[in-house]
Amino acid sequence: MIKNRVWIIIFSAVFVISVAVGLWVYFSGNGTYANIYSDGKCVYSIDLSAVDKPYEIRVNSGDGYNVILVERGRICVKESNCGDKTCVNTGWTDSGAVPVICLPHKLVIRIEKNGAELFDAVSK
């Protein structure tokens, strides 16, 4: 009976320490980043928690363009000359649950924390 209690205490301590270290690593980063990829290459990496004033970025790709609006903690595609405007209609994003994608211009905006994606799946 005493051996079982010792093992329960040991496993509980290991579990608590593991959770504490995991939370410390997750929350000790510099902030949330918006990584903007054009044709598979990262062209901008923006620390959204460090944005003081809103600003725009224009990303050209072939004969197309996207105008991206950056504010503290969030980002969106403000304007695009693609046909379906799905990227514009996606609206603001501040989490990695749904990336902003413009397929005609091969543009992807992903929200990541410390270089790692915040979500690896979304369920309904």
Q: Whole-prediction pTM value? A: 0.67
Tokens standing for 2? 């005493």
Task: Report the pLDDT value the prediction gives residue 21, as an integer from 0 to 100.
Answer: 83
CB–CB of 75/112 below 8 Å? no
> For the segment 36-84, what is each residue's pLDDT rounded down to a tens digit?
999 889 999 999 888 899 999 999 988 899 999 999 989 999 999 988 8
Spatial separation of the C-alpha atoms in residues 120 and 93, rounded to whole Å? 16
- The residue among 68, 73, 1 whose CA lies nearest residue 38 is 68
Confidence of residue 95 (pLDDT cuts 50, 70, 90): confident
How far is Cα of residue 123 from the mean position of the Cα atoms in its chain?
17
Task: Report the pLDDT value the prediction gives residue 92, as an integer from 0 to 100.
Answer: 92
List, edge to edge, every strand of the sheet that includes 74-80: 55-61, 64-71, 74-80
